[in-house]
Amino acid sequence: MDSPFDNRMLIEGNVSDQKLAVLLGELQIFQLELEMQNDELSASHLMLENERARFAGFFDLAPVGYFILDHLGIVEEANQTGADLLCISKNDILYKRFQALIDSAAWEIFYTFLHRMQTTSVKQNTEIRTYINGKELYIRMEGIAIQNAYTGKIQYYLTLIDVTENRMVQQRFMDTNQRLEMTLNASGTGTWTMGLGQNKVYLDDFCYTILGINPWDFDGSIKKLIEIVHPSDQLYVRQSLLNASNNSIEMDIEFRVVNRLGNVKTISAKGHEIHNDVDHSYFAGIIMDVTERKRLAKEAQDIQSEKQRLILSATFDAQEKERYKISSTLHDSVCQILYGIRMNLQNIQLSGKTEGNFANINELLDQAIRETRELSYELTPSVLRDFGFAAGVKEMAQRLSTATFKIKANIKSSAESISKDVQLYVFRMIQELINNCIKHAQATLAEITVSTKDGIVTLIVSDNGIGFDVNLEDSLFKGSGLRAIKNRIFLLNGHMDLTTSKKGTMVTLKLKSDFEPSLI
């Protein structure tokens, strides 16, 4: 360090060469130190520039938008992500009020957000909805207010995140959940969950309506749930819950409950185990009020039982009528003929004369044979079994034809493929229709046509008689042979069509060729 004497010597010019050399050496040392300090400052400045550039890159490329606002809400700094989020260039953002960058409908929420940051040192957050370039955006904002150390004024440090996709997913979930709740409510279904190993059951609001209890009367315990169940079903429900819980099997039970009004309802409960990797597994399911369904099922069962009873009654009545018919036929014809034969035989025994009596006996025997054959044919047409359907119909047509009434039969070969049960039904209906022609139509000609196509049997019986004026329903009501035909068609799930006029009548029946009737 220079002394005042040395400095004075320099000023006065009274400096020796030795002193001057020392001074020059010190100056060179000072120069070297300044150069070294300058190099260090340059290196520090370069390092700071590199760090600034690196952190500026991090700032601009951060996945969230960063904004620094002054106390008036004017943007002092923003990163590129924030500019991209608002679809505006970074230069156009700086030194503008932030609220000018969002939709006016969100201003009130934004001002409230700023106010909350001013009044607390805790980080605040909010969510706004805005429209940018006609596109709806949901933006989540987080921020904190910090006092500037140099100016003493407040600055707002904000982060912005686009949560539009999350909101859309959340909205879709809410819509789906709402639709599910509406569907469950519309179907009268409630949902329940039960934690495995826990004495807790969680019911949704609709479950309380189904069970007929108040929410405040149920503490969520299994014990309380069992108390709601009808006393006769409590043990069954308890065992079902324990079995499902311990063995991890599906539960499907029905039980009765007694609601707060004392009414008994039938409840159906279903559930199965749900495995959750995050939380413990639990049981989830649905409950439904099936009281009305059970009542309708009981009524349907009663109706079915009554229907079965009526069918059996009708069957027995038909059997009794058929037996009466057989009994009357045997009594009025065959028995009378046999009685006549007996009288002739007694005459021979008493008088010893055989002339004329044997002739009468032979004639009566022939008549008895014919009557017995007719009765046997009416009961079971063996010709169908022995010679087939077509031969049986043709034989009937030939047998019932007379000099004044002819019957033509046109039976397609495909009719032989009809099932045996249906063949018998069709044969009986042909008998009824031909008998109607003989008794009522005053016809001279009747035609029978039977054909099949695509598994459908078509039977047509027509005549050239006088027809009738009343409609089909009136004919059925009056008990004509059409009623028996209509009943058979009903059993075969077929269709009947009738046309009649003064020129004749035509009946068309259609039914499946392989249908199996319930009654024969």
Structural domain contains residue 302: yes
What number is the average pLDDT over the span 44-63? 68
pLDDT at 447 over 90: yes
pLDDT at 298 over 80: yes
Q: Does 370 share its domain with 425?
A: no
Q: CB of 285 within 8 A of CB of 189?
A: no
Q: CB of 480 within 8 A of CB of 385?
A: no
Q: Does 71 share its domain with 85?
A: yes
CATH code (residue 411)? 3.30.565.10
| Segment among 177-181, 228-232, 426-430, 476-480 with least mean pLDDT | 476-480
Structural domain contains residue 144: yes
pLDDT at 1 over 70: no
What number is the average pLDDT over the span 5-10? 50
pLDDT at 206 over 70: yes
Structural domain contains residue 182: no
Q: Does 38 share its domain with 75?
A: no
User: Mean pLDDT in the chain?
Assistant: 80
Predicted pLDDT at 125: 92
Please give the tally of structural domains in the chain.
Answer: 5
Predicted pLDDT at 486: 77
The token pair at 284 is 């989830």
Q: Does 400 share its domain with 498?
A: yes
Predicted pLDDT at 519: 43
Q: Does 164 share its domain with 194?
A: no
Question: What confidence tier does 5 reach under pLDDT thresholds 50, 70, 90?
Answer: very low
Residue 166 is classified by DSSP as H
Structural domain contains residue 520: no
Domain carrying residue 22: 4-58
pLDDT digits (tens, 9 = 90+) for 91-135: 888 889 998 888 888 899 999 999 999 888 889 999 998 888 888
Predicted pLDDT at 517: 55
| Segment among 1-15, 42-56, 204-218, 466-480 with least mean pLDDT | 1-15
The token pair at 178 is 């709402």
What number is the average pLDDT over the span 368-383? 67
Which of 228, 260, 289 terminates a domain? The answer is 289
Structural domain contains residue 519: no
Contacts of 72 (CB under 8 A, 6+ apart): 97
Which of 251, 268, 289 terminates a domain? The answer is 289
Q: Does 508 share its domain with 392?
A: yes
Structural domain contains residue 178: no
Predicted pLDDT at 374: 67
| Segment among 74-78, 280-284, 379-383 with least mean pLDDT | 379-383
What number is the average pLDDT over the span 438-449? 89
Predicted pLDDT at 423: 83
Predicted pLDDT at 461: 92
Q: Does 198 share its domain with 136?
A: no
| For the ranges 182-186, 188-192, 356-360, 440-444, the one whose mean pLDDT is highest | 440-444
Residue keyed to tokens 């789906």: 176
What number is the average pLDDT over the span 400-407? 89
Q: Does 508 share its domain with 391?
A: yes
| Segment among 188-192, 289-293, 297-301 with least mean pLDDT | 188-192
CA distance 232 to 264: 12
Q: CB of 458 within 8 A of CB of 509?
A: yes
pLDDT at 238 over 90: no
What number is the average pLDDT over the span 33-55? 74
CATH code (residue 205)? 3.30.450.20
Question: What confidence tier does 435 reach under pLDDT thresholds 50, 70, 90?
Answer: confident
Structural domain contains residue 417: yes
Q: Does 163 share its domain with 263?
A: no
Structural domain contains residue 200: yes
Which of 379, 396, 411 terminates a domain? The answer is 379
Strands 406-411, 264-274: parallel, antiparallel or unpaired by DSSP?
Answer: unpaired
Query: How many Å from the N-terminal Cα to the C-terminal Cα in the chain?
Result: 140
Long-range Cβ contacts of 194-198 (<8 Å, 24+ apart): 194/222, 194/241, 194/245, 194/271, 194/282, 194/283, 194/284, 195/280, 195/282, 195/283, 196/245, 196/273, 196/280, 196/281, 196/282, 196/283, 197/245, 197/280
Q: Does 41 share its domain with 115?
A: no
Q: CB of 68 within 8 A of CB of 78?
A: yes
Using a pLDDT cut of 70, give the percent of the chain over it: 81
The token pair at 482 is 């059409």
Q: Does 43 share its domain with 87?
A: no
pLDDT digits (tens, 9 = 90+) for 455-494: 888 999 999 988 876 555 555 545 456 777 777 777 778 8
Q: Does 342 share its domain with 397?
A: no
